[in-house]
């Protein structure tokens, strides 16, 4: 039984108060592998990867689903083998991530290349290795990819990342679907009336004629007979035996036409047309949407999915091409502290599936392949970081300071450890909150308000902002911070020339080094100046 629900399932507290992982005590792991130390429960990674793949397939049982592991969360050769063995692809966004996955033996057809500033070398490698898709991120990229593909004598599989305009909340650094940011191509023209998209929430008045309408080419560049710009028209080309008065367009059809017209005039559709024009060297496989990170429910995903399905419908209405795949991205939440929400994958993917099926049915479109990109959800709960305590320093306060509950604080104990923002930047970067426990003994029943801080030359070098730790905590004790499997090691640095900790995999089979600890020799070897 896990220490608490946010800890790996194979963690426990023994009779001596020591935290164990598959029977190994935290202190014995530090003694063997050094401190600080990243632990990854590889059994849990495998189980969570399999669970997500199955949840997606079960929820979208009327179509094919693809699940890609977001390598940016944490990547190693062993992790690559685990997640692909569970049925996942791997999403990469740098030459380093690509090379690690290929070195692990992952075939190109199980890999994806993302990124807002891909190098020619990265694009070429993806094409040579037959990547499942290259995600286009800006309007000029199709031309670059096409030129490289032609030079290599190959055809590249591409999908377009679309900025949907759905704001999922969270920290501004990880909110990726608003218009003023570096990712993707906007769905709508600048200044568009987004209220027109409200038709997507009620398509009951859309008729078969409306759902099978085609949009004429935009004539805005050419003036009509009266000198005014020509207007795009919705053409009801398909008549039904029971629809003898198709000229009488329903209100729902008119609203849908307005929404489609707005999308048809947007940047995303223009780029899709550019890709489609180069189909001799580019295979257009779909569209991609990513709206943010650590999102607790499906509401924002549903709104983004509706917009992607409208884009798909509009592209069919203008070019008679049915986009095969819609990638709904990642951002599925985990709980970092006890009592915090974590996305119920089965329930929320079920809600998302119902919404996607409903809108495609109303639009008269077949179900696309649906793709997902979880990263954090797979590896974060499988990870724990272990530290040795150094300095323990009580600080007297005036009483103007308050705790999280707003209560006056007259004393705080600063517990310094042998790591910090160099091995977990998230608290300093995002204000992320974590839990912490004494891991090598029971400790006294009395606790004190504490702040776990690192060893770096920054006041903001904080690992846990506020916690209750035993009053007798002392130098040499072991602290364990759970839910650090994502964005810990992968965002680590050598600030103050600190050595990046080792990553140790723990499982029923024992403990082993996945990624070795950096050494002083590494630091000296990189510095080649004389």
Closest CA to 370 of 344, 348, 349: 349
DSSP letter assigned to residue 332: B
User: Which DSSP category does 375 fall into?
Assistant: S
Residues pairing with 505 in the sheet:
40, 512
Residues 6+ apart with CB under 8 A from 347: none
DSSP 295: B
Tell me how far apart the alpha carbons of residues 369 and 304 are, in angstroms, rounded to a whole number. 16
Q: Do residues 85 and 50 lie in contact, with contact meaning Cβ atoms separated by under 8 Å?
A: no
CB atoms within 10 A of CB 215: 23
Active site residues: 457
Choose among 379, 440, 465, 371: nearest CA to 38: 379
Q: Residue 137: which residues within 8 A CB-CB, separation 6 or more? A: 114, 115, 116, 118, 161, 183, 184, 185
What DSSP string runs through 408-430? Answer: B-SEEEEEEES--TTT--HHHHH
The strand ranges marked E within 88-202 are: 89-92, 111-113, 133-136, 156-163, 185-186
The pair of structure tokens assigned to 335 is 């709980």
Q: State the Cα–Cα distance between residues 480 and 385, nearest whole angstrom.
A: 6
């Amino acid at each position: 039984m896990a220490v608490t629900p946010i800890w790996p399932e194979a963690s426990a507290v023994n009779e001596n108060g020591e935290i164990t992982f598959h029977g190994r005590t935290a202190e014995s792991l530090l003694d063997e592998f050094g401190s600080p130390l990243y632990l990854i429960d590889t059994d849990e990674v495998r189980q969570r990867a399999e669970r997500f793949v199955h949840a997606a397939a079960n929820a979208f049982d009327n179509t094919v689903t693809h699940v890609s592991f977001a390598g940016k969360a944490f990547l190693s050769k062993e992790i690559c083998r685990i997640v692909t063995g569970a049925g996942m692809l791997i999403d990469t966004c740098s030459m380093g991530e690509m090379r690690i996955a290929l070195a692990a033996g992952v075939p190109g057809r199980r890999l994806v290349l993302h990124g807002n500033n891909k190098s020619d070398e990265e694009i070429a490698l993806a094409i040579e290795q037959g990547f499942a898709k290259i995600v286009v991120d800006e309007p000029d990229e199709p031309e670059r990819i096409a030129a490289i593909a032609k030079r290599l004598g190959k055809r590249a599989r591409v999908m377009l990342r679309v900025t949907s305009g759905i704001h999922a909340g969270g920290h501004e650094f990880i909110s990726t679907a608003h218009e003023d940011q570096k990712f993707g191509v906007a769905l709508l023209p600048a200044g568009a009336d987004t209220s027109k998209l409200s038709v997507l929430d009620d398509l009951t008045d859309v008729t078969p004629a409306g759902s099978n309408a085609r949009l004429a080419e935009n004539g805005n560049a050419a003036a009509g007979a009266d000198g005014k710009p020509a207007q795009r028209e919705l053409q009801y080309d398909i008549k039904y035996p029971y629809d003898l008065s198709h000229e009488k367009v329903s209100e729902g059809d008119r609203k849908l036409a307005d929404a489609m017209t707005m999308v048809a005039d947007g940047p995303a559709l223009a780029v899709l047309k550019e890709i489609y024009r180069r189909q001799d060297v580019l295979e257009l496989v779909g569209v991609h949407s990513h709206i943010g990170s650590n999102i607790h429910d499906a509401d924002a995903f549903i709104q983004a999915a509706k917009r992607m399905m409208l884009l798909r419908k509009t592209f069919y209405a203008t070019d008679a091409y049915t986009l095969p795949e819609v990638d709904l991205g990642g951002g599925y939440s985990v709980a970092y502290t006890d009592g915090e929400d974590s996305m119920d994958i089965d329930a929320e993917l079920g809600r998302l599936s119902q919404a996607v099926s409903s809108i495609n049915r109303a639009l008269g479109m077949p179900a696309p392949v649906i793709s997902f990109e979880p990263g954090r959800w797979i590896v974060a709960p499988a990870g724990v970081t272990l530290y040795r305590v150094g300095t323990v320093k009580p600080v007297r306060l005036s009483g103007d300071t308050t705790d999280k509950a707003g209560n006056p604080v007259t004393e705080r104990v600063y517990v310094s450890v042998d790591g910090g923002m160099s091995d977990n930047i998230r608290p300093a970067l995002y204000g992320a909150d974590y839990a912490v426990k004494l891991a090598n003994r029971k400790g006294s029943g009395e606790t004190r308000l504490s702040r776990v801080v690192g060893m770096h030359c920054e006041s903001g070098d904080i690992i846990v902002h506020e916690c209750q730790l035993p009053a007798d905590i002392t130098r040499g004790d072991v602290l364990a911070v759970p839910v650090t499997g994502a964005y810990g090691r992968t965002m680590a640095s050598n600030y103050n020339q600190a050595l990046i900790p080792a990553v140790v995999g723990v499982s029923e089979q024992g403990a082993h080094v996945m990624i070795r600890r950096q050494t002083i020799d590494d630091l000296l070897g990189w510095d080649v100046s004389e």
